[in-house]
Each structure stands twice: as structure tokens, then as C-alpha cells.
Structure 1
Amino acid sequence: MKNHTFPHTTLATALLLACTCAAAQQGNTAPAAVNVAATKTTTDSRINLYRISSLHNTTGLELRQREVPQSVTVIDQDELKARGINDMAGALKTGGVNVVRDEGGHYRYQTRGFNIDQIEEDGLSTSLHGAYGNPYHNSQSPSDLAIYERIEVVRGATGLTQTNAEPGGTISAVRKKPTAERRIGGDISVDRYGKVYGTVDASGALDPEKTLRARVISVVSKDKTFKDDVDGSHYLVYGVAEKDAGATTTVTLGGMMQNSHGHPDPYGLPQANIAFPRDKSLGFKWNKDDYNKANFFAGTETRFNDDWKLNTKVSYTRNDSMSAFGALANENPGYSGLTRGATLPLNGLNRYDNAGRQAAAQIALSGKYRLFGREHDAFTGYTFGQEASNTRWKRIRNNTAYNPYTFQGNEIAYPGWGDYIDRTYYGSKQKTHAFNLGTRVNALDNLHILGGARYTHWSGREFTDYNWWNDQPDNTADRNDKQSRSRVTPYLGITYDINANNSLYTHYSSIFKPQYYRDNKGNFLSPVTGNSYEVGWKGEWLDGKLNTNIALYQIEQKNRPVQLALASGQEYAAAHGKVRSRGLDAEATGNITDAWKINAGYTYNSSKYQKNENVRDLKGGNASKHTPKHQMRLYTSYRLPGAAEKWTIGGGMNYQSSTSSLWGVDQKGYALFNADVQFKINDQFNVGLALENITNKRYFENHPTRMNGANNYLGEPRNIMLNFHWEL
């Protein structure tokens, strides 16, 4: 299939324009790094965003974006507000991440052809359990964006601060902290499909000396969608307090509770020679998802002097969920698609009860030292993580066939789950102890070498209790796998400053991820390993308000599991698989002028099997068919001058080239266009109007296992949203 063509000069023009405008206004002095713990905010959040992004979570040091020898994208908060985006999937799309749809309302995130399966909140990392495996075993729900000051995406392996992870990258989220000045504000938005979203955010000091500060955020949302009977709601309360315990120590304590309720779309639509209406749902009206999340966190920062400080952090999260659903689908890979007059069977009635617990703690020391007449940076730390999850699955077998075009969703009543035919229990636990040590040596005024290593001891357990099958006791042997692994992962990054605004850099990190597959002797396979390489250029303009980056990368992942079988039919795995991903990332983000802002990016990716992994995945074949080879994004906004200065207009587009799936279901390349306008009524009130998918493009979202009978999810049609922001 030919790729949908799109003028690649669009991005090149945007990058050139950004650099040219910035170069005309550049100064001779590079901006100083700013401590991310500062609570003072500026009037223009976009300018503040790009100046304070020291990216401590990427390397263990407080560095400006240009100083980090790795690609990092800072999600633009002003763009999210202008376009009414308040969920993680929508936010990551604006940062060029490949957001992949999964069954139900779940999403997976990818960069550089690999999954992102780690998320950091204030530097403490936890797993995204939906990265692999059955998404219905996932008890997690992503937190509403209202609690985050900013979100960053680190592309490629981050061996200094994380291990036991996929090499695609890391999502780093920084929670909102209290402000010293009292303020209260909020947002209200409503769209054409009936979604209503509202927030209230109150912050300020609680004592005259401003040594005790607090912040409270609440969210209420009615989550209607363009599809019949696919909707929901969610509620959130977040609170955080800071106390200055003397002149050198700050203590932080906070927590969040979030409840989400929804009616999911389990399997999407089949491929059909007569297109379904966009609002068609093939699930039952009683389908439901319930997610409950509670998170508690605390931390201290002790500043020994101007050079050295000690940070401690702890976090505990409890996730519980229940999903019950039934829908029409045919998941047989040989199914050729729906024809006129044909029927579609039920794919059973399913219920999943999930529980997850995550605990993490960290102690980190960082500072500066002098050697050979120069000042250098150093850091060391210890991180502990423990996670556990449990799933109870019940299924009532029912493959009754219906006409999908006349299916109403009320043909079967909500079942009594005591009548299950199949029942299985699943569970997993893992514990991690990690120590890291590193330094940034300033060998010359313009040559900086960042090196270090991380030692990780990991232990894990997975179990499956085959309890009941086909309405009788299941005699399948239960699975109870336990193992532990230790590994040292090195990291090396070099940055060379050409001048006050331009730098060249290179980066290397190793990959390490244990796996539970067993070989023909019953032993666990060696961990998945590999290497991540990157070389690039970074530019920093207008006192750090505008950042540009071009990077070339290569990621090699080895010891991938390959499924094999003995002559007796017994299945086993071998660590023979290998994938190599190569590509280019380019972006320009920030302020071209105080009134003109830009978020532009381009990604090229080619992921290839380096060895045969099965009869379908052969050497030289595409290792990530649902990843577009080309992705482009462009968003810009401009505050009008003179008498029209209260008006700000914005617009942009997102483009991706063609994709496919494991079963060869293709999606042509497409572009989505958006626009918005905002009017500043006065210093307290702002109103805006946003349009998404202006051309009303019909397309299917990226999905790794799209097939002719299931897992085809239509993207949102044209939408219009009214936004209202207030701040007192």
C-alpha cells in the first residue's frame, strides 16, 4: 500500500523559521539552571515552563534541556489548555508519542518503535502494567492532568535512573506544588458530544511567614463520547502541603483520590464492506468499568549549602478496578470481514476484578565538587520499589450471533456472575533495589562528560491458578514462577558546546529487562538486553524560552523470546530474537517571540527484525507494524498586537504515515487539523473555542492486533469545544 503523501517541507519550514527568529534575538550568555523545587510562578506559564525544565529525573542532576545528552520533549501546557486536552493519551499525542489504542478504553504509549512501560511522578518510577499482556488485567487508571505542573517524555533508555524497562523511553510527570501567594482558579469546558469538564485549584500560604503552604485541586468530569453507550465520569481530589522546617529543610506531604466510572467499547468494530455509522457500538448497554485510585506521597529536601542537598521521597498507590462486558466480535485471524447480510457472534461475557499496590522510596544526594581547578557535578542514590497485582477472571461462554447493523445492546440482561463457565486467578509481584552513582565532569569550558552506572537487584513472581474451565474443575497445572536478577547498567553522555546557543551531544545506555519465559530445560531465559545510542544537536534560544533538537538514534534489543516446540509438542522459548530500531527525531518547542509560540516535531522510525522470530516475523521484516514510519506535528499560537491584543489564535496539524497490524489490517496515512481562538476578557477571565479534526477525517486508531473481526477503533470525528478559564 502506498503511503499517504504529505509535504515534509512543512516541518522543515517551521524548524528553520524558529531557529532564524531565535538567532536574530540570541544573547551572548546562556541561561542558568533553575531549581525545579521553586514554587514561584510567572504570569506566562509557557515562558516559565521552558525556563525551569531542569530535567532532574532524566540524569539525576539538575540540568537545562540543552545540557541533557538525550532527547527530551516537554509537553506544552498552554497548548493543552487551548485545545481542552485533559487526559494523558491526548497530551502525549501533542509530544509526538505514538499513542496506541487497546481493548476497552486503555492505551499504550510508544516511542522509537518500543513501548514506554515506566512513568515517574516526582522522580519515583512505577510500571505501566498495560504495556504488555492483557489490558483487562490492569487495575491502573491514569491520573487527571490537572494535578501536574508539567509532563516530559524522555526518548530512549534512561539507564542512570531506571532499569527493568522497555527502551522506548520514560514519561516523567511533575506534580503541582503549593505557591507562596494565595490564588484560586479553575476551568470549565463542554464539547459537542456532551462532555463536561471542570476543575478548581486553590493554593497559598497558611501563615504570615509563608513557611506553611498548601494546595487543593478538585476535578469533576462527565465523559461523553461520540459513540452510543460509550461514556463515563471521573472525580478527583488532590492535596499537597509544604513546610519549611528551618532555613535548610522543606517537608512535603500530599495525596490524591480518583474514581472513574465508564461504559467501555471492548472490541471496536469489524472490517465491513458496508461502513458502520461512527457512533455505532457493538457492546451491551450494561458494560461497565470502575476504577478507584488512591495515592499518598511525602518527601524532604535538605540543603547543606549552596552546592549539596539531600532528597528523600516515598509514595504508595492503591488501585482497584472491575470490568464487566460483552460485545460482538470475531477474533479468529482467518476471518475475512463482515459481508452484506452476515452476522457476528458474541465474544463471551467477561468480568475482571483487579487489585494493584505500588510502593516506592528514594534517597538521593547531589552536589558540586572541585577537581583540577574546575567545578563538577556528582550524584548518588538508592531507590526501592515494590509492586503487586492480582486478577480474578470469570467468563460466561456465549457465541450467539446477531446482525451487527441492528444490534441494540439490550439483547442480553446483566448476567449473574455465579453462572460462570471459566474462572482463573492471575497475580504478580516484583521488588527492586537499585543504587546509582554518576558525575558530570566539565573537562573544558565547552566539553562535558556525564558518566555513571546503576546497580539493580530485581526479584519477581508470577502465578496463574487455573481454577475452573468449561464448567468443571481445571486440571491444568498451576504456574508459579519465581526468579531474581542483578545487573549493572552503564551510561555515558558527552556534550560539546559550539557556542552559547548550540551544542552537539552523544549518548549511550544499556538495556536490561527480566522475562518469565522458560527454555526446553525449564530454566528462565536470560534477561532481554541491548544498547541504546544517540547523537544529535541542541539549540537554546531567547534565554531558554525556545529549544530545538535533532537526534539520530539506534536501539538494539537482544535475547527476545522466540516460541519453539519439541517433537513431542511441548512448547518452550529461546532467547534468540533481536530487533534493531533506527530513526530521527527533530523538534522546535517554545517561544519565538513573547507573543508567538510553536510546537513542531518530526519523527522517522524503522524497526526491523535482525533474526527470524517465527514464520510471520522474519529477518528484515517490520518489527512494529503499528508504528508509523513518519510522524509530524505542528502547533502554533499568536497573540494579536495592538488593539486586538486580547485575542490569541492557534492552529496546527498531526500527520502519520500508513500503518498495519500483526494480522495485516492496514490504515492509510492521514493528517488531522485543529484550530482555536481565545479571548482574554480581563485579568481574571478567559474564554476560548477549539476545533479538532476540522476536515472530519475518518480513520482507525493505531492498534497492534487490528483484525478483520475486531479491534478496529474509529478516531474521534470533528469536535468543537468551549473552554472557560478563571483565576482570582
Structure 2
Amino acid sequence: MNPIFSLQKICLAIVAVQSTQIFAETNPLSTHEQSPVKSLETIVITAMPSSVMSTTTGMQLSLKETPQSISVISQEQISNLGLNNIADALKQTTGINVIRDSGRYRFQSRGFYIDQIEEDGMSSTVASGASGNPYRSASSMTDLEIYQHIEVLRGASGLTQGNGEPGGTINAVRKKPTEEFQANGKLQYGSWDNIRSSVDVSGSLNQDHDIRGRVVVVAGDSESFKTSIEKNNQTLYGVLDFDLNDQALLRVGGLYQQVEDMPDIFGLPMRIGSKSLNLNKNTFLGADWSEDDFKKSNLFAELIYNFNDDWKLNSKVNATWYDSTQKFAALGHGNSTYVGVANDGLLQLNNMQFYDNDGDELIFNTTLSGKYQLLGRDHDLFGILSYSKENQNSRWKRHLDSTQYNVYTFQPSQVLEPDWDNYTLLQNDVLYKNHIEQKAIALGTRFNLLNHLHLIAGGRYTDFSAGGDYQYYTWAGAPDSEYGKNTDVNKKKFIPYAGLTFDITPSTSTYISHTEIFKPQSNKAPDGSLLNPVVGKNQELGIKSELFGGELNLSAALFQIEQENRAIAIAGTSFYAPEGKVRSRGLDLEISGKILPEWQLFAGYTYNKSKYLKTEGTIYENGTNFSKHTPEHMFRAYSSYQFRGALENLTIGAGITAQTESDSLYNVKQGGYTLYNANLRYQFNPNFALNLIGQNLSDKRYYENQKARVNGMNNFYGTPRNYLLSLEWNY
């Protein structure tokens, strides 16, 4: 890392954090006791409790104690910004690049994919992650309404996850039952007939309060700014807590969700020379029979046993069943050498496809954590045992059709759906089956070297295996009966973790950390052996502060990620060499929480540059940008202010998301842009509130970030100006 860059950024970060701390310690209006303003339940950003984070390690650590960059998205923030899915929430989060691909959204941090998502600390594969083929996955994201908050970790997370990319992870924390009765509901109506309702009820189920329950119900139906596009979803979530005795808690719960929509798979083409065709924002170049139907069933259980005040055992099991069908046809030309749509406006149909997918996943995790004494000091210890098994099945059918249509006059009804059961019409009909199994043990400690110096050290040993098979029914338009097995992958790998924190003051600490994660690969070396796993290493130097009792959090971090052992094809052979290497460097800055009792603020800035350290192909040359679709600068901010006095029931909010220019692998560029959002919230009484939300208020026309943008397809307009009105009820 350039030493001048490092010193400048470190100094700026420290000055910014310390200046804010001085302001907080001297400002007489920065304490609740001195403010007469009534605190409403609908604050936008809520400071997290001092011990809730277990995403990075098996221990309950505060943000300040965790030696990595973490952002928290609260349920209040989700509600007040009108966010209903994980993709929209992450677009408001520091350093996360949300991109379109294969009809899904994919998430990246620091130039690398996030391909694992945790629920209550239990990790599972993301269907739209870097692993596998998203088309062949039945899994789907869960509605945000069932989560209490979202934790976003940037950087490698190998201590709590068996394998994956070094970008980071997302931990979605489910809502839990409350002892006191509470109920709330929302009714929303927005642009393009966006209708959504939700109910959340919780409380004790008996007089002793030792049985508690919570139910969340969501139903939504909406159209889109694009012609013919519509979506509906239903979610039912329930959870029960049983106090078995004074030391043991049993939690059981379940979820059922169904989401149906019409996918826009290939987006829009470009004109010759990668220039926009200036098509209407509502243009949809797909068939009107295109459809996605995703179903998810989930059962989970958790047993928490407190041996005493110091030692606790937490065991969890999570079982999920997925089912989906996806069929589509759309105009598009995927060849990277295609120059774009000519003056005649003609573009071919990019075939027709049908996927019938199902899958299941079983995850078990048990964590033992506690304290021990050594050299006259108390220290923390944790151990984790985990097991997971995942099965995925996919039946893929394809019908060839390259009919040309005029993009200016195309109508979705022009494309007729084939009979998917008539094998004489099919070019391909293949059944794929894949499975992944992981067993792991992790052990670590937080060793308090001095009163203000803490070392977190540990490691994770993972036994990973994966395999699968395939059955051909039709290939190249003719009946086929070929059966084959995929290369079995079996790898055992130890991943270390180390983080050192130093408390400058009771409210401010600095840290340095080294984290890793690995990812097995099925490519073979010339001797026939499997290549060693791809390894991602994250080094981070940062500073964090918790002010006003933890209600305001500030952080600054310099980071570097190197990923090595990447497969490089050996010319003239079908073999590979594990010689590829890439690097990502940058800076994260974030502030979130209350500056004043009535003033909430979130702001996050990320600077990121990445490059190939070894040439990996004709378009992946040494020294070129590794993640061209990741903007060099990203800034997200949202602030709200609750008036005082006669207007104390009125809260106004405003936010921006901004980024510099981005590119694609095939040199289709998007200039930098800024989007403006705002909301106006009025609390009529303790039970009712009305929230008016506006997004992209300047109606900016732009294309979403996309790695594989080419002149013939994969160009997606961002959502234009829209409004949402939400009526909220609380009891």
C-alpha cells in the first residue's frame, strides 16, 4: 500500500473520529437528561445494544470490540425508508455494491462477492452468490419484515463460515418473542400500484410469562415501471420461546414464503458504440409468459443453556426446503463482440428456457462460550462445532429461437410459449444434481493482555466435500441418455484469525486484524489432482468510537484483500495452474446513530481500487482493474430530524446515494450519479403514524451496476422517481 496514501487516510480518520468525540463530550445538548423532547418509537437509526455482535466470532462483542468493519441496518431504518428486500437495504449500506445478474441481485464488498448469508449466525449459500449457477438454484431471499436487524460484515469471515469469497457476509437476525404484549401493522401504497401489508404480534402466552410467541404476516402485490412486470409475495413467520427452567431456553420457529414475479432477465441492448438507445423507461423486451415462482419452507430450533454467569451453551438447527420454477424468453445478444443495435432496430430472441428446481439444506451449529482466568486476568473463550448439508436439483429445458424483432415496436405478447413437455421442440433437456457437505470446528479466545489491550486469536478447521451428477434426456435436439458424475471435491483446510484492539479511551479503540477464508475449486492440475482452494486474506487497520453510551458509532478502516490460488488455464490443454492473484485496497468511513436526541444520522463512504496481480486471460491482464463494475467512490447517507415543541410529532428525513463511474468486463460504461431520497413522517398519537417516502426525487436516468453488460443485453435502467405512503399502527 502506498505509504503516503496510508498515512494521510489514517490521520484524517483519526482526526475525524476524535473531533466528533470532543464535540460529543462538550455539547450540552447531547444527553437525554437535558432534552425535554419526547422520544417516539419510530426513530430511524437505533444504536445497537453493547453486546449483540457474533457475526465475526462466536463471542458476543460490541461494535467497538470487533476488529473488523461492520454496519448495522435496524428495523426502524428499514421501515422508515420503505425497504422491503435485502437488495434495497444493502443499497443504503456502506461499501456494498448491489449488481444485477441472471435475473437476481448479487452483492459485493471490496470488489468481491458475498456468497454466504447467515440467519441468527447460521450460514447458508446465497443463490445469487459467486458459487454455482443462479438459474439452477431454487433458494430465495426472505422478506425483511421478519428480521430485527441486519449485520453486514466487510472482509473475510472464515472464523464463522466454512468457505466462500472474502467480500464479507450478511447476518440477518430474526425477530424474537417479547414478554410484554405488543402489536404493530403497516399498510403501504406506492407508485405502480405497489400494495403491501404486514402484521407483527408478540407477547406471553401464559400468566407465568415462560411461554412467549411472535407471529409476522406479510402480503404484497405490485407492478413495476416496466410494462407487464408484476410481483406478489406472501410470508408467514412464527416463533415460540419456552423457559424450560431458570437456566434453559428453548426456541422453535418456522417460515413459509411464496414469491411470484415476471423476471426481466436480459434488460436492454445498447446502440452501436455502447451508446444508449434512449428507450422508454418502461421498455420490457421479454415474453409476457415469463414467470418466476419461488417457495420456501423453513423450520428452526435453538437451545440456550446458561451453566452460570460466565459459561453458556447455544445449540441451533435450521432446516430449509426450496422449490421454484422459472421460465422466460427475451431479446438479447450475449456475444461480447456484438457491436450493438443498428438503425433498423432489430435484435434477436435469445432462445427460451425453463428451469424446474428444488433443494434442501440442513445446518447444525453449537457454540460454547465463557470466561476463564489466567495470569490474574479474566479472558473469553469460545468453541464452535458446525455441520451443514445442501442438495440442489435442477431440470433445465431450452428451445432455440433467434427470431429478430424491432426493439422500438416489440410487444411481449408477440413471443409464443412452447410446449415444454414436447421433447421434439427442445434443444436441451438435462437434469443436474449437486450436493455440498461441510463439517467444521472453530476455537478462539479474547485474551486481555492489559486493561486496554485485547487479542482475539483463533482458527477454524473445515472438512469440505461436494459432488453431483447429471442425466441428459435431450441434447442438440436429439434424444440422449448420457449419465455422468461431476468431479468430487474433498478438501480439509485450516483458517487462522487474529485481531488486536487497543482502547485509547473508554469510548475509542484502534485495531488491526488478519482474517482469511477459502473456497475449494474443481479445476485440475496437469497431474490430475485438484487445485488447492482459492484463499482470500483480509488485513485491516481501523479506529472505532462509541459515544453517548453507544448511541452514536464512528469507524474508519484501511483494508487490503488478496485472493490467491486462482485458476489460470494452461494454453493448449484442459488443465489449470493455481497462479492467479488479485488485490483490493481501500478505505471505509462510517457514522451512525444519534448526534442529538432528535437528530439521527447515518453516513458511509468507501474508496476502493482493485487489480489483477497476474494475467488470467485476454481480458484479465496484469495490472488491469479486477472489479471494473465496482465504483472507486461510494457514498450513502441518510439523516432525520424530529422537531421539538409544537411540531414534536413531525419528523423529516433526507438521504443520498452517490457513486463515481463504473464499467463492465466488456467496456460498457456508466457515468457517476447521485440519487436523492426523502421522507416525511407524522405521529398522530402513540398508536398511529403516517410516513411519506420519495425515492430518486430528481428522476435520474441511469443504468444499474452490472458485471457482464454488453451491447446486446444486460443493461438495466435504475428505478425512476417513485413514492410510497405507509400507514403504521402500534399497540
Instruction: Indicate the TM-score class for this superposition, using the shorter chain for normalisation.
Output: over 0.9
Look up the match of 1:60.
58
| Alignment match of 1:372 (pick from 370, 375, 380) | 375
Residue 619 of structure 1 pairs with residue 622 of structure 2:
yes
Look up the match of 2:78.
80
Q: Report if aligned partners of 1:460, 1:482 keep a CA contact under 8 Å in 2.
A: yes
| Alignment match of 2:675 (pick from 672, 688, 704) | 672
Q: Quick one: distance in 2 between partners of 1:17 and 1:325? A: 55
Look up the match of 1:253.
252
SS in 1 for 2:358: strand
Q: Quick one: distance in 2 between partners of 1:111 and 1:156? A: 7
Look up the match of 2:495.
489
Residue 153 of structure 1 pairs with residue 156 of structure 2:
no
Q: Quick one: distance in 1 between partners of 2:124 and 2:290? A: 29
- Map of 1:523-672 to 2, 5 A cutoff? 523-566=529-572, 570-672=573-675
Q: Report if aligned partners of 1:238, 1:257 keep a CA contact under 8 Å in 2.
A: yes
- Map of 1:169-184 to 2, 5 A cutoff? 169-184=168-183
Give, as a single letter, the amino acid of the residue that structure 2 aligns with 1:136: Y
Look up the match of 1:22.
24
- Map of 1:318-337 to 2, 5 A cutoff? 318-337=321-340
| Alignment match of 2:48 (pick from 35, 47, 50) | 50
SS in 1 for 2:158: coil
Q: Report if aligned partners of 1:11, 1:601 keep a CA contact under 8 Å in 2.
A: no
Q: Quick one: distance in 2 between partners of 1:145 and 1:21? A: 35
- Map of 1:361-400 to 2, 5 A cutoff? 361-400=364-403
Once the two structures are TM-superposed, the CA of residue 634 in structure 1 deviates from its matched residue by 1.1
Q: Quick one: distance in 2 between partners of 1:410 and 1:683? A: 50
Equivalent pairs counted in the alignment come to 706
Give, as a single letter, the amino acid of the residue that structure 1 aligns with 2:242: K
Q: Report if aligned partners of 2:620, 2:626 keep a CA contact under 8 Å in 1.
A: yes
Once the two structures are TM-superposed, the CA of residue 52 in structure 1 deviates from its matched residue by 4.7
Q: Quick one: distance in 2 between partners of 1:470 and 1:163? A: 39
Look up the match of 1:195.
194
Look up the match of 1:233.
232
Give, as a single letter, the amino acid of the residue that structure 2 aligns with 1:576: E
Give, as a single letter, the amino acid of the residue that structure 2 aligns with 1:350: Q
Once the two structures are TM-superposed, the CA of residue 54 in structure 1 deviates from its matched residue by 2.1
| Alignment match of 1:282 (pick from 266, 285, 293) | 285
SS in 2 for 1:81: helix
Q: Report if aligned partners of 1:667, 1:699 keep a CA contact under 8 Å in 2.
A: yes
Once the two structures are TM-superposed, the CA of residue 279 in structure 1 deviates from its matched residue by 0.3
Q: Report if aligned partners of 2:156, 2:536 keep a CA contact under 8 Å in 1.
A: no
Q: Quick one: distance in 2 between partners of 1:542 and 1:696? A: 38
Superposed CA deviations along residues 579-634 of structure 1, whole A, max 9, x for unmatched, are 01111111001111221111101001111100010121111110011111110011
Q: 1:193 to 1:148 in 2, by over 3 A?
A: same
Give, as a single letter, the amino acid of the residue that structure 2 aligns with 1:404: V
SS in 2 for 1:441: strand
Once the two structures are TM-superposed, the CA of residue 465 in structure 1 deviates from its matched residue by 3.5
Q: Report if aligned partners of 2:229, 2:261 keep a CA contact under 8 Å in 1.
A: yes
Give, as a single letter, the amino acid of the residue that structure 1 aligns with 2:373: R
Residue 694 of structure 1 pairs with residue 694 of structure 2:
no
Look up the match of 2:265.
266
Larger displacement relative to structure 2 (44-53 or 131-140): 44-53
Q: Report if aligned partners of 2:184, 2:729 keep a CA contact under 8 Å in 1.
A: yes
Q: Quick one: distance in 2 between partners of 1:215 and 1:103? A: 35
Give, as a single letter, the amino acid of the residue that structure 2 aligns with 1:556: E
Q: Quick one: distance in 2 between partners of 1:657 and 1:490? A: 35
Once the two structures are TM-superposed, the CA of residue 413 in structure 1 deviates from its matched residue by 2.5
If the length of structure 1 is used for normalisation, what is the TM-score?
Answer: 0.94
Once the two structures are TM-superposed, the CA of residue 343 in structure 1 deviates from its matched residue by 0.7
Superposed CA deviations along residues 497-539 of structure 1, whole A, max 9, x for unmatched, are 0011111101012231101112233321111124211010001
Q: Quick one: distance in 1 between partners of 2:234 and 2:63? A: 34
Q: 1:577 to 1:488 in 2, by over 3 A?
A: same
Q: Quick one: distance in 1 between partners of 2:405 and 2:277? A: 16
Q: Quick one: distance in 2 between partners of 1:582 and 1:433? A: 32
Q: Quick one: distance in 1 between partners of 2:680 and 2:29? A: 32
Once the two structures are TM-superposed, the CA of residue 102 in structure 1 deviates from its matched residue by 2.9
Superposed CA deviations along residues 216-272 of structure 1, whole A, max 9, x for unmatched, are 000000032111111110000000000000111000000000001011111000013
Give, as a single letter, the amino acid of the residue that structure 1 aligns with 2:108: Q
Structure 2: 5+ residue stretches without partners:
1-8, 32-38
Look up the match of 2:452.
446
SS in 2 for 1:681: strand
Q: Quick one: distance in 1 between partners of 2:647 and 2:19? A: 24
Q: Quick one: distance in 1 between partners of 2:93 and 2:408? A: 37
| Alignment match of 1:120 (pick from 118, 121, 126) | 118
Larger displacement relative to structure 2 (419-428 or 398-407): 419-428
Look up the match of 1:218.
217
Give, as a single letter, the amino acid of the residue that structure 1 aligns with 2:498: L
Residue 313 of structure 1 pairs with residue 316 of structure 2:
yes
Give, as a single letter, the amino acid of the residue that structure 1 aligns with 2:178: T
Residue 242 of structure 1 pairs with residue 244 of structure 2:
no
Q: 1:82 to 1:652 in 2, by over 3 A?
A: same
Once the two structures are TM-superposed, the CA of residue 411 in structure 1 deviates from its matched residue by 1.3
Give, as a single letter, the amino acid of the residue that structure 2 aligns with 1:252: R
Once the two structures are TM-superposed, the CA of residue 412 in structure 1 deviates from its matched residue by 2.6
Q: 1:496 to 1:111 in 2, by over 3 A?
A: same
Q: 1:705 to 1:16 in 2, by over 3 A?
A: farther
| Alignment match of 2:415 (pick from 412, 417, 434) | 412
Q: Quick one: distance in 2 between partners of 1:28 and 1:60? A: 34
Q: 1:636 to 1:462 in 2, by over 3 A?
A: same
Residue 343 of structure 1 pairs with residue 341 of structure 2:
no
Once the two structures are TM-superposed, the CA of residue 44 in structure 1 deviates from its matched residue by 6.0
Look up the match of 1:186.
185
Give, as a single letter, the amino acid of the residue that structure 1 aligns with 2:250: V
Q: Quick one: distance in 2 between partners of 1:217 and 1:52? A: 27
SS in 1 for 2:457: strand
User: % of aligned pairs identical?
Assistant: 41
| Alignment match of 1:436 (pick from 442, 451, 461) | 442
Q: Quick one: distance in 2 between partners of 1:554 and 1:13? A: 22
Look up the match of 1:509.
515
Once the two structures are TM-superposed, the CA of residue 478 in structure 1 deviates from its matched residue by 3.3
Once the two structures are TM-superposed, the CA of residue 703 in structure 1 deviates from its matched residue by 0.7
Once the two structures are TM-superposed, the CA of residue 495 in structure 1 deviates from its matched residue by 0.4
Q: Quick one: distance in 2 between partners of 1:445 and 1:533? A: 25
Q: Report if aligned partners of 1:42, 1:48 keep a CA contact under 8 Å in 2.
A: no
Once the two structures are TM-superposed, the CA of residue 296 in structure 1 deviates from its matched residue by 0.4
If the length of structure 2 is used for normalisation, what is the TM-score?
Answer: 0.93
Look up the match of 1:38.
none
Q: Quick one: distance in 2 between partners of 1:46 and 1:63? A: 23
Larger displacement relative to structure 2 (600-609 or 508-517): 508-517
Once the two structures are TM-superposed, the CA of residue 724 in structure 1 deviates from its matched residue by 1.1
| Alignment match of 1:720 (pick from 718, 723, 728) | 723
Q: 1:17 to 1:318 in 2, by over 3 A?
A: farther
Look up the match of 2:357.
354
Look up the match of 1:32.
none
Once the two structures are TM-superposed, the CA of residue 48 in structure 1 deviates from its matched residue by 5.3
Q: Quick one: distance in 2 between partners of 1:208 and 1:341? A: 75
- Map of 1:78-117 to 2, 5 A cutoff? 78-103=76-101, 105-117=103-115
Superposed CA deviations along residues 446-480 of structure 1, whole A, max 9, x for unmatched, are 00111111111111114343442221145878342
Look up the match of 2:708.
705
Once the two structures are TM-superposed, the CA of residue 483 in structure 1 deviates from its matched residue by 2.1
Q: Report if aligned partners of 2:184, 2:730 keep a CA contact under 8 Å in 1.
A: yes
Give, as a single letter, the amino acid of the residue that structure 2 aligns with 1:494: L
Q: 1:381 to 1:646 in 2, by over 3 A?
A: same
Q: Quick one: distance in 1 between partners of 2:714 and 2:17? A: 37
Q: Quick one: distance in 1 between partners of 2:261 and 2:66? A: 40
Q: Report if aligned partners of 2:345, 2:408 keep a CA contact under 8 Å in 1.
A: no
Q: Quick one: distance in 2 between partners of 1:562 and 1:476? A: 29
